[in-house]
Amino acid sequence: MADFDFDLFVIGGGSGGVRAARMAAQRGARVALAEVAEMGGTCVNLGCIPKKLYSYAAHFAESFEESHGFGWVGEAPRLNWDTLKSNRAREITRLNGIYVQLLKSSGVQTLNGWATLVDAHTVDVGGQRHSAENILVATGGKPSIPEFPGSEHVISSNEMFDLSPFPQRLLVVGGGYIACEFASIFNGLGAEVTQLYRGHQVLRGFDEEVRGFIASEMVKSGVTLHLNTDVATIERSADGLQVQLLDGSHITVDSVLYATGRVPLVKDLGLEAAGVRQAKSGAIEVNDQYQTSVPSIYAVGDVTARVQLTPVALAEAMVVVDALFGPPEGKTPRGMSYDFIPTAVFTHPNIGTVGYTELEASEKFGKISVYKSDFKALKHTLSGSTERTLMKLIVEDATDRVVGLHMVGADAGEIVQGFAVAMKAGATKAVFDSTIGIHPTMAEEFVTMREALKR
């Protein structure tokens, strides 16, 4: 048996990489992890965590306004952008330290630097080579910005958290969840936000009714939405960035955010030299065990471009650890199912969804029943807000199983997480109907809907 420096060498200190390194080390493996940036990856440093913190901040403006209907008087406080930035940075630094400590306490050797594959069992970090029986690539992804006249003036989601000064006029280009979230956040923080998307409606891939509903709510809250158009050119002037659109219109803004997708972070990893097969997009191709075309090299998370969600990367990492080092005592090796993965979009209001869209369900199951409720939440009977909530259930007629659940409304992610467990377990509409609701809550609506539309 070959003598290697490590049993597992992990490239990337994001969610998937850290989870795999920690769990493998706790099972007695000799593990090293290389990361060139701060620990925690995109989620901790430039994604989920700071974005959710800014979403909380943005909600305060509407909360102050809505409080008047409940008897609170006086002017709302003003946002201090620098204070928000500095408090966020302090929290992220704290989380970075926690990740470092978790790895250290697990016995993982961490290396700071860019790691490059040399061959099937060798990694180079800063000119020093390390051998490993197995290698895991978990480098994640990065924002993708197209080239066009003036593209040098735009920024990606990576730069949004530390903009200086605060952009009073912001153009968001894109229709995915990152674009919609930032449009909602900065609108809530007080910017004049315009969102631009070349498609017919935002949030491609989500349920059609959800897409239309959230677009309407965002516009109602102050976001200016332009569909079926794109940027032609951008020029800098004394008054700001002059943005010319393909439809002939013109916008002047302070900042332009391009949130038009993410691509796998694979440049200079040495994948070709090591013989690792990639898709045209650059994504690393893997099998059900996340093994690449080179048997000793594995890949998980966004670098494989399967489902780009932090919890998915964590779950994939555990499949690899169980396959290489065995499951915990008394447990069977984990597998990964991509069915009924719940997700949330932190727009204002939030979106929570799990399972199939109405169109997907119709195509897959044939006859379905759709239950829908569109209402004003109890809170807003006094708040003065015109915000509405949408809830939707999709049921397969042949089995009565609930195969799709969608919500647009306050705390949608928190509500849908619980229902995702029931759906993963195969809950039927009859089970939903027999479940007692918690009153008065919005969540109870999911167990009280009785009238269906047959599709």
Q: Is 439 a catalytic residue?
A: yes
Alpha carbon 262 to chain centroid distance? 11
Q: Which amino acid is at 321?
A: V
> What is the spatial distance between Cα 69 and Cα 305, in angstroms, rounded to a whole number?
46
Q: Which amino acid is at 102?
A: L
CB-based contact 232:244 (threshold 8 Å): yes
* Residues in Cβ contact with 139 at an 8 Å cutoff, skipping those fewer than 6 apart: 11, 12, 14, 17, 264, 265, 266, 269, 303
Ramachandran category for residue 118: left, alpha or beta (phi over 0 → left; psi -120 to 50 → alpha): alpha
Please give the helix or strand (H or E) that residue 315 lies within, else none.
Answer: helix 310-325
Which of helix, strand or coil describes residue 395?
Answer: strand
> What is the spatial distance between Cα 33 and Cα 110, in angstroms, rounded to a whole number?
5
- Name the residue with tokens 């952008």: 81
> What is the spatial distance between Cα 352 and Cα 346, in angstroms, rounded to a whole number?
9
> What is the spatial distance between Cα 244 and Cα 232, in angstroms, rounded to a whole number?
5
What residues act catalytically? Answer: 439
